[in-house]
Structure 1
Amino acid sequence: MKYIEPVKSVVLFLLVMLSVILTFLIWTYTPDYKYIEKTEGEEILIKPQKDMEDIIRPYKAIFRSEEEFTGTVSNAAMKDMMKVFKGWNVLDLVSVNNNLSANYVNQIIGADHRMTIFFTGEIPFSAFNTTFQFTDKELPETTFNRMIIDWSNYNSKELMLYYISGNNQSLFRSHVSVPNMNQFIQEVIEPAKKYEVFKEVEREGYTSLYLANSNIESVKYTYFIEDITPELFKNVLFPDPNIVQRNVESASSEKYTDGMSLMTLETNLKSLNYVYPAAESSIRVEPSKLLKDSFEFINEHGGFTADFRYASSNTNKNQIDYQMYLQGFPVYSNHVITRMTTIWGDSRIFHYKRPYFSLDMDISLEKEIKELASGAEIAERLKSANSIPLPDIDEIVLGYYLTQNQEQNIFIFEPCWFVIRNGTWTKLTPEVLGGVKNGLE
């Protein structure tokens, strides 16, 4: 019995020491954390992504030499020209005029040894960053829709470029150093000698129109189409697709909503309309940022599902439009939607409207050669008919009018002439042109 108390004391001491050691170990313990990789959601690409150069492309080029205009609207020629321009060094960028007159514009374009490249929409200078190498780090927050290249002093290995904005009535000028001048002359200027003759359609007090002087052979196409499943867009546009509710409103209308945003499908028009009301904003976004944000938003989900090209902008509404093209020509329709529209909101998309179909393959046996009147003749017939005053016209363009056969699930692309006025198109039918002449529309 006399050893019990010492033993209890020893055991108590050991327990106290063990408690102290365990407490120390807990305080100083550092676990061996393993790196856990972040698992991101699977990227959704509806179609392959594109480069800005695919979206911004001229639709026409004219050349003035030896007191004559020649020109082309060839898709292949436009692509080749843009490739030649890539890497040019813009040495300066100077504002020349902020109140251009129509007569002055016509004089600049009509001067000898100059070519003019026409773009459908007003392009911010920053959008050309991937084509030109600008010496100026900060580019002006302005736009242009015509670029004039003066090659009269090409032996100096420098060219003079002019940038005209039809919307702003402004003119910028720059000297450009060309790394390979021989390539420019051989691949851009020399081929122009074989292009067809273009006629300048003068309009007193207005800029001239420049149209081909020869009749045109074009091809009527028929394509099978494929609907893009709305589920893909639902997964792209809604943060949590699992909570999205689908509601069939009618045989031609469906709605998807998560309580914050709404996606509507009009099956007859094959159009998709997405709105996120909380993002609506009246704050104007600068042109360069507006185009960049719009392009990246669509491109991130592979939304350029056909040959869509930048068509126009409205900076007051933060709106960018892209037009569908086929074989290098714009496609217009009253039957289905052929244009994409984005309206930017508060740091994100506010409104997104687009088609949800893609072209599958063309039906070769259905191809048909169509002969159309020349652009110059169309202008003369419009002038005679006086159905559309020439001064009201922004451009006369060759394009495709799209109709659909829903039973066979095919689209028919009919080559036609169109008038563009204030961003809207009008199909030139025989009635508009004052009756059929020589059997050509």
Structure 2
Amino acid sequence: MKYIEPVKSVVLFLLVMLSVILTFIIWTYTPDYKIIEQTEGKEILIGSQKRMEDIIRPYKAIYRFDEEFTGTASNGAMKDIMKAFQGWNVLDLVPINNNLTANYVNEMIRTNNRMTIFFTGEIPYSAFSSIFQFADKEIPETTFNRMIIDWTNYGNKDLQIFFISSNNKTLMRSHVSLQNTNPFIRDVIEPAKTYSAFKEIERDGFTSLYMPNDKIESTKYMYTFIEEPLESFKNVLFPNPNIVQRSIESAITEKYQDGKSRMTVDSNLKSLTYVYPAVESSAIIEPSKLLKDSFEFINEHGGFTADYRYVSKNTNKNQLEYQQYLQGLPVYSDQVISKITTAWGDNLIFRYKRPYYSLVFDIPTEKEIKELPSGVEIVEKIQQLNNFVLSDIDDIVVGYYLKQDSTSIMTLEPCWFVVHNGIATKLTPELLGGVVNGLE
């Protein structure tokens, strides 16, 4: 019994020491942390991403040789023209005329050794900064929809360029000094001598129309198509897709909502419309920023699911439109939607309307060569009717009329179209003598 107390004391001392040692170990312990690799959220891409120059393309070019016009709307020729521009140093961009008249423009185009390139929409100069190298540090905050290139002095390695804005009635001039003009002459100018002859259709007090003299052969296509998953668009457009509620409004309409924004789907038109009312704004956005923001918004989720091209802007509504193209020709329809439309708000998208179908591949056995009347014939027929006033027409173009044949097949029929204020009207033998319908 006499040893119990000393033993207790020793055990207590050992326990105290052990507690001190363990406390010291805990305080001084440094774990061997492993580096945790950061994982980014999975990016949702509905289609492939594009470059700015993919959505900005001319739709027609005409050339003046020896008092005569030739021209083309060939997709290959438009690609060659844009390729030829790559890396050009554009020098001395200066304003020439701020009150441009139609007659002045017509005379410029009639001048020999000049080519005129037509764009559907007004293009901000900054959108060409990935194609041209502008010598001026500050690119003007304005737009153009026609380019005239004068190659008269190409032997001195100098080209003169004119930029015309039909909306603003402005003319800018610049020139390009090339180390070697041979590729431009070989790839762009020389082929134009073999293009179809074009005729100038003069309109008193208005810019002329330029129409092909010869009949046009184009291909009728049948394409299979798919519908892109609506869940993908929901996940892209809504900040928190998990709280989005889906409701069936009718046999052809359904809505997705999160309390702040909504997405409406029309299964007949194969369209979806996303609206975020809280960011609606009346502040006008500069053209360059508007195009940049709109392009980046769509491109971030791979929204250019076909050959879509920028075709128009409405400055007052901060709205841009992109038209679907096939084989270099615009696609119009009154059965399904064929445009992408964006309206920008207060630093965010306000309205986004688009198709949710994609053409997949053409059926080779269903291809058919169609012969269309010449452009000159079409103008003559229009002038005999009361359906159109020639001075009101923006242009007359060959395009594709798109219609749905079945749940998986769409037909694209080549036709002539009259374009006025962004609305295309299909011209058929029946329609030329009857009722006209506007198409998107």
Q: 1:132 corresponds to which residue?
A: 132
In structure 2, the CA distance between the partners of 1:279 and 1:31, relative to structure 1 (3 Å rule), is farther
1:385/1:432 contact within 8 Å kept: no
Q: How many residues align?
A: 434
Question: What does 1:248-263 align with in structure 2 at a 5 Å threshold?
Answer: 248-263=248-263
Q: Deviations over 1:148-178 (max 9, x none)?
A: 0000011111110000001111010111122
Which residue is 2:173 aligned to? 173
Deviation of 1:211 after TM superposition, in Å, equals 0.8
Contact 1:141–1:286 (CA<8 Å) still a contact in 2?
yes
> Would you say 1:410 and 2:409 are equivalent positions?
yes
2:394 matches 1:389: no
Asked if 1:379 corresponds to 2:379, the answer is yes
Change (3 A) 1:92 1:245: same
Q: What is the identity, as a one-letter code, of the residue corresponding to 1:93?
A: L
2:290 is aligned with 1:290:
yes
CA distance in 2 between counterparts of 1:118 and 1:53 reads 15
Q: Is the 8 A contact 1:88 1:179 kept in 2?
A: no
CA distance, structure 2, for counterparts of residue 101 and residue 11 of structure 1: 108
Question: Structure 1 vs Structure 2: percent identity of aligned residues?
Answer: 69
Hey, what's the Cα distance between the residues in 1 that align with 2:150 and 2:329? 27
Q: How far is the alpha carbon of 1:34 from its aligned partner? A: 4.3
Work out whether residues 308 and 322 of structure 1, in 8 Å CA contact, stay in contact via their aligned partners in 2.
yes
Residues 222 and 410, structure 1, Cα contact 8 Å, conserved in 2 = yes
Q: How far does the alpha carbon of each residue in 1:222-270 deviate from its partner, in whole angstroms, 9 at most, with x for none?
A: 1111111101111111112122111122221111111221111100110
The residue aligned with 1:90 is 90
Which residue in the other structure is 2:5 paired with?
A: none
Q: CA RMSD in A?
A: 2.5
**2:255 aligned partner, one-letter code:** K
The 8 Å contact of residues 280 and 346 in structure 1, kept in 2 or not, is answered as: yes
Q: Distance in 2 between matches of 1:162 and 1:28?
A: 76
> Displacement, 1:380?
1.6
8 Å contact kept, 1:381–1:434? no
CA distance, structure 1, for counterparts of residue 281 and residue 153 of structure 2: 49
Q: Compute the TM-score of the two structures, normalised by the length of structure 1.
A: 0.92
1:4 maps to what in 2? none
Matches within 5 A, 1:265-344: 265-344=265-344
1:205 lines up with 2:211 in the alignment: no
Aligned-partner SS, 1:312: strand
Structure 2 gap ranges (5+): 1-7, 435-440
Quick one: distance in 1 between partners of 2:110 and 2:295?
34
Corresponding residue of 1:348: 348
| Structure 2 CA distance for partners of 1:283 and 1:33, relative to 1, 3 Å | farther
Aligned to 2:361: 361
Post-superposition shift, 1:430? 2.6
**Amino acid in structure 2 at the alignment position of 1:48:** S
Matched residue of 1:92: which SS?
strand
Whole-Å Cα distance in 2 between the matches of residues 322 and 370 of structure 1? Answer: 27
Structure 1 distance, partners of 2:328, 2:65, is 26
**3-state DSSP of counterpart to 1:190:** helix
Match of 1:423 in 2: 422
One-letter amino acid of the counterpart of residue 423, structure 1: G
Q: Provide the C-alpha distance between the structure 1 equivalents of 2:97 and 2:19, rounded to a whole number of angstroms.
A: 87
Following superposition, the deviation at residue 13 of structure 1 comes to 12
Q: Which amino acid aligns with 1:416?
A: C
Classify the secondary structure of the residue corresponding to 2:116: strand
Specify the SS of the correspondent of 2:174. strand
TM-score where L is the length of structure 2: 0.92
The answer to whether the 8 Å contact 1:96/1:172 transfers is yes
Q: Which runs of 5+ in 1 are unaligned?
A: 1-7, 436-441
Deviation of 1:24 after TM superposition, in Å, equals 9.4
CA distance in 2 between partners of 1:75 and 1:427 (Å): 21
In 2, distance between residues paired with 1:193 and 1:123? 28
The residue type paired with residue 115 of structure 2 is M
Alignment of 1:17-166 (within 5 A): 34-166=34-166
3-state SS, counterpart of residue 43 of structure 1: coil
Return the offset for 1:18.
11
- Contact 1:69–1:198 at 8 Å: present in 2 too? yes
Distance 1:342 1:25 in 2: 63
Deviates more, 1:425-434 or 1:120-129: 425-434
Residue 36 of structure 1: how far off its partner (Å): 2.9
Structure 2 partner of 1:433? 432
Distance 1:21 1:122 in 2: 79
Q: 2: distance between equivalents of 1:159 and 1:299?
A: 34
Find the aligned partners of 2:419 and 2:278 in 1 and give their Cα distance. 34
Q: Deviations over 1:254-303 (max 9, x none)?
A: 11111221111100110011111112111211111111111111111111
- Worse-superposed segment, 257-266 or 18-27: 18-27
The CA distance in 2 between the partners of 1:171 and 1:239, in whole Å, is 44
Find the counterpart in structure 2 of residue 5 from structure 1. none
For residues 152 and 165 of structure 2, the distance between their equivalents in structure 1, rounded to whole angstroms, comes to 23
- Give 2:427's aligned amino acid: L
Distance in 2 (alpha carbons) for counterparts of 1:139 and 1:21 = 72
SS at the partner of 1:180? Answer: coil
Task: Give the CA deviation at 1:139.
Answer: 0.2
* Structure 1 stretch displaced more, 330-339 or 12-21: 12-21
Structure 1 equivalent of residue 224 of structure 2: 224
Following TM superposition, by how much is the alpha carbon of 1:37 offset from its aligned partner in structure 2, in angstroms? Answer: 2.9
Amino acid corresponding to residue 186 of structure 2 in structure 1? Q
From the superposition, tell whether residues 28 and 283 of structure 1 become closer, same or farther in structure 2 (CA, over 3 Å): farther
Match of 1:3 in 2: none
Residue-by-residue CA offset, 1:287-334 (whole Å, 9 max, x unaligned): 111111111111111111111111111121111100001111001110
- In structure 2, the residue corresponding to 1:292 is in which secondary structure? helix
| Superposed counterparts of 1:182-197, under 5 Å | 182-197=182-197
